[in-house]
Structure 1
């Protein structure tokens, strides 16, 4: 027997309709390349979203088409988010921090038809354009007055695109499992992998994001998503903020600029913000140097890499901002766990409760976690046993876009995260290691295998290994350990210069160490475990 309840699909357009009806006058403030502080309301925003939807229809976009963006956090990017997905197309956000070959691969693999670009990235896209096989035109996110000169074919400004369109549009109904957005992760070796989100998964994640024991958002909040919209949908905030009616403050291209962030927080009275630890480290250093304040800021959602307790303390005292540690991945939409206090945790003595702050937190409803040993046997949640972390839930990927299979997805529906973790009796999970040798710097993954493959392409290098070395600002930075071919000679600078132009600058190792041989396992494989032990305590230049 089925219940007799209405069966309405969970679509992103429902968030938009609700925001227009319940929160029409709530503000959206943006820093953009052409305006220091743009300001309008949800009512204004979604009227323009309908104009863009009409423009996309006139351009001939069809259900399922991938439409790319290469843009910062601002109001035009937000409008693109909603117009593309709610029309039944797929909003594909590209990460400008990736190096050029990756961007080309991702755009071609997704078969993007159009690309919406921040003016700042026009020179980059002009370099890529000859290799982009499927893109039919380029929309520059500005107006005609600020339109840069460009050789991109069929390029026009965003404002001219929507200027003549009607703000009346009937949003279509379709299956809630329809794809809504696409984000590629390069967190493991090989080519980047696409994670294809659905309307259903996005709405369920949106509900979970706003729960009191997650972000705890309400219409009384002023939220600044510093975490980029080009990476995992800014952790779901563009949807959750509209659903509950928060004021939104977008930092645009200034997301890494402490003076701008401080000014936005104080002038717009931001009380909730989200970003990786390196952003907050930079802001704290700026506050300590200048004596400026961020008194309105009360909660900081922080993830991407482990949050140093010293950073949490520096924001709490004397500024009164509390860091909320969270964990997730591109494959988990991304929210998986949040370190908020449970009833049991609140009863702990202060020192024991504070110790929980180093953990990534408890799973929110909808997310199941387990840790397993090498044989796949589930391990107890005793805070001592550690094993491979697996996760499943309605906003967790079940596979990668246009890939037949992958060993990280098992037949029981679990996704292997690549992390090693413990889970304590209170349910708090802590990442202790990684099962693969990727390097995480400033919340972004760097593939050690890709660095090694590039290094050994040098005619003088016989073997190379990239390992993570702790760094006070970036959490981890890559170091390259090199074995030269007999009779060859290279300097540290020679090797580092070899990487220029071949990978993103932030991928380039911080140091190079020359050794006679690399440690191997009994089967002849490189032993990263022994190598890390060999360089335990190593201090990088300038760290």
Structure 2
């Protein structure tokens, strides 16, 4: 009962019980590389010993600037089992933020894809990595990744590690300020992996083939690399190619059974399927998980009704990877279709060991599906503080250890979360609340609308009013008046946005969410219906 819960144990199980299970990775030239958990395990041990051979001490930070591919997967295991700490960097962050994040985490090694060398050239003057390792052609003082692996020992044995030692560091995307870092222990990763694989949540088994569209540099790819290893599932890594055609080709050719990513990805994939509904065979695909922001009900219905595919809401954050999944409970599976659909449109029940509550103005709100409060969570893989940020930590964590998420939610009697909005995005107009996700979902149901984002803007009479920013599908359009008329039966009349801005594409953050900070900045001073 005292065995330590570590990433080492996860890898060992993959090697022992699923040695020949395939891991597929798309290379920069778009070819597919095929390997196995057994071969990965051998390379991981070489790489781990080689990293230690660079003179790194226990707890040293190893940063990665990589997309989702087999070598990044090797690093996901090699650094933690060597007693080091892996820190995936988001290449979509601004260079200034990357430099800040690397310095704040005290990263000593940087491993990067050759394609990101131009980013590194901009970082060199403001960072102080002891070693730089390039996956691809290395020049100057940089080390070739493959040469580093060759330095390692095939007979290297991982040390016994305490399960509460730090294994990985992740950072928030920094949409409202500087990115903030959180540490994940081996124990946190192991329990998250085990919990997410249970029936009623991911329910992963060795017959599954997982393709995480969520990048390995964001929220640790929801922990899916570890889940696949522990359960002996197949794993497909898409590299940098996240366009709808490339993803659909992989879903088809690799017989993918489970995939997950943000709604903006699934909007494009749905449009591609609608354009060519018979081109791809997706019959093995048992679920498409959507997280990061609210998926419009029209998208969930579009996948189900037009393509027979199950799009499942999830909820999570950088501070806890995955936290809830909207699979139907045993009770709801006996409910009427309308009630089932209503719960599918919510963010779901918290995963085992994750506890929830919602704080309102007069204490914690009732679990009645209507009362609004800020979601607070705690659990074994919920971060306990921000890295070297005592003031931010004090604001975000309660005195009794609950993390304030910033999400305004309702909770049903059965424990299903429904996100009404982010606290910072909720619009208060004339003393009444307007939910931006609800208004965005209503707009997204219009057949011409590809993307819809809503922000609050200052109004002299009402305090705040909603402003909608719309991007259309190619070859389609609608006037602002037509969009307002479409909204009338779907939302309260006073929710109708006076201002509707038409753009080619709604700007996104570094993790693929709508960039509402940029939208407010861009449209605050413009006139209506540009």
User: TM-score, normalization: structure 1?
Assistant: 0.79
Of 370, 384, 394, the match for 1:384: 370
Whether 1:93 and 2:80 are equivalent positions in the alignment is no
Tell me how far 1:309 sits from its aligned partner.
1.7
In structure 2, the CA distance between the partners of 1:383 and 1:470, relative to structure 1 (3 Å rule), is: farther
Q: 1:505 to 1:384 in 2, by over 3 A?
A: closer
Q: Per-residue deviation at 1:437?
A: 4.4
How far apart are residue 410 of structure 1 and its match?
1.1
Map residues 422-441 of structure 1 onto 2, 5 A cutoff.
422-437=410-425
The equivalent residue for 2:103 is: 108
Residue 24 of structure 2 is aligned to residue 29 of structure 1:
yes
Q: In the alignment, which of 291, 298, 316 is matched to residue 303 of structure 1?
A: 291
2:328 touches 2:344 (CA, 8 Å); kept in 1?
no
Alignment check: 8 A CA contact 2:49 2:82 kept: no
Describe the superposition over 1:211-237 as per-residue Cα deviations: whole angstroms up to 9, x where unpaired: 111111000101101111001110010
Distance 1:422 1:120 in 2: 44
CA distance in 1, matches of 2:333, 2:157: 49
Q: 1:21 to 1:414 in 2, by over 3 A?
A: same
Distance 1:472 1:218, change over 3 A: farther
What is the match of residue 234 of structure 2? 247
Which residue of the other structure, out of 134, 140, 147, is the alignment partner of 2:134?
140
Q: What is residue 357 of structure 2 aligned with on the other side?
A: 370
Q: 1:350 aligns with which of 317, 334, 337?
A: 337
Give the aligned partner of residue 492 of structure 1.
none
Report the alpha carbon displacement of residue 506 of structure 1 after superposing the two structures with TM: 8.3
Counterpart Cα distance in 2 of 1:473 and 1:167? 54
Alignment match of 2:73 (pick from 73, 78, 103): 78
Which residue in 2 is equivalent to 1:494?
none
1:68 aligned to 63, 66, 87, which one?
63
TM-score by length of 2: 0.81
SS of residue in 2 equivalent to 1:300: strand
Look up the match of 1:237: 224
What whole-Å deviation, never above 9, does each CA across 1:332-372 have from its counterpart, x for those lacking one? 1x111110111221121111211111100111111111111
CA RMSD of aligned residues (A): 2.9
Residues matched between the structures, number: 458
Partner residue of 1:177 out of 164, 173, 190: 164
With 357-366 and 13-22 compared, the bigger mean Cα shift is at 357-366
1:126 aligns with 2:121: yes
Deviation string, structure 1 residues 111-132 (Cα, Å, up to 9, x no partner): 1111110111111111111111
- Alignment equivalent of 1:212, drawn from 199, 205, 215: 199
Displaced runs of 4+ in structure 1, greater than 6 A? Answer: 438-441, 465-468
- 1:168 equivalent in alignment to 2:155: yes
Shifted more, 391-400 versus 155-164: the winner is 155-164
Deviation at 1:466, TM superposition (A): 13
Question: Hey, what's the Cα distance between the residues in 2 that align with 1:247 and 1:319?
Answer: 24
User: Separation in 2 of the partners of 1:324 and 1:206?
Assistant: 19
Determine the C-alpha separation between the residues in 1 that align with 2:222 and 2:232: 17
CA distance in 2, matches of 1:466, 1:58: 59
1:17 to 12, 33, 36: 12
**Inter-partner Cα distance in structure 2 for 1:305 and 1:361:** 13
The answer to whether 1:56 aligns with 2:51 is yes
Q: CA deviation at 1:288?
A: 2.0
Q: Deviations over 1:298-321 (max 9, x none)?
A: 211110010112212222234322
Q: 1:37–1:466: structure 2 CA closer, same or farther, 3 Å change rule? A: farther
Change (3 A) 1:114 1:468: farther
Please give the alpha-carbon distance, in whole angstroms, between the structure 2 residues aligned to 1:346 and 1:505. 31
**How many angstroms does 1:296 deviate by?**
2.5
Residues of 2 paired with 1:415 and 1:126: CA distance? 37
How far has the Cα of 1:199 moved from its partner?
A: 0.4
Aligned equivalent of 2:407, options 419, 433, 436: 419
Show the counterpart of 1:490: none
* Structure 1: gaps (5+ residues): 1-5, 449-464, 475-498, 517-534
Shift of 1:64: 0.6
Q: Is the 8 A contact 2:63 2:111 kept in 1?
A: yes
Change (3 A) 1:102 1:397: same
The answer to whether the 8 Å contact 1:69/1:115 transfers is yes
Residue in structure 1 matched with residue 257 of structure 2 by the alignment: 271
- Tell me: CA distance 1:371–1:187, structure 2 relative to 1, closer, same or farther (3 Å): farther
**C-alpha spacing 1:336/1:506, structure 2 compared with 1 (3 Å):** closer
Q: 2:248 aligns with which of 262, 287, 291?
A: 262
Deviations 1:130-161 (A, max 9, x none): 111x301211123xxxx16x5xx521221111
Aligned counterpart, 2:324: 337
Task: Give, in angstroms, the shift of residue 168 of structure 1.
Answer: 1.7
Q: Measure how far apart 1:411 and its partner are.
A: 1.3
Give the secondary structure class of the aligned counterpart of 1:360.
Answer: coil
Helix, strand or coil for the counterpart of 2:319?
A: helix
Name the structure 2 match of 1:198: 185
Once the two structures are superposed, residues 475-522 of structure 1 have per-residue CA deviations (whole angstroms, 9 ceiling, x without a partner) of xxxxxxxxxxxxxxxxxxxxxxxx9xxxx9985549844659xxxxxx
Partner in structure 1 of residue 112 of structure 2: 117
1:186 to 173, 178, 181: 173
Q: Is the alpha carbon distance of 1:505 and 1:346 closer, same or farther for their aligned partners in structure 2, counting shifts above 3 Å?
A: closer
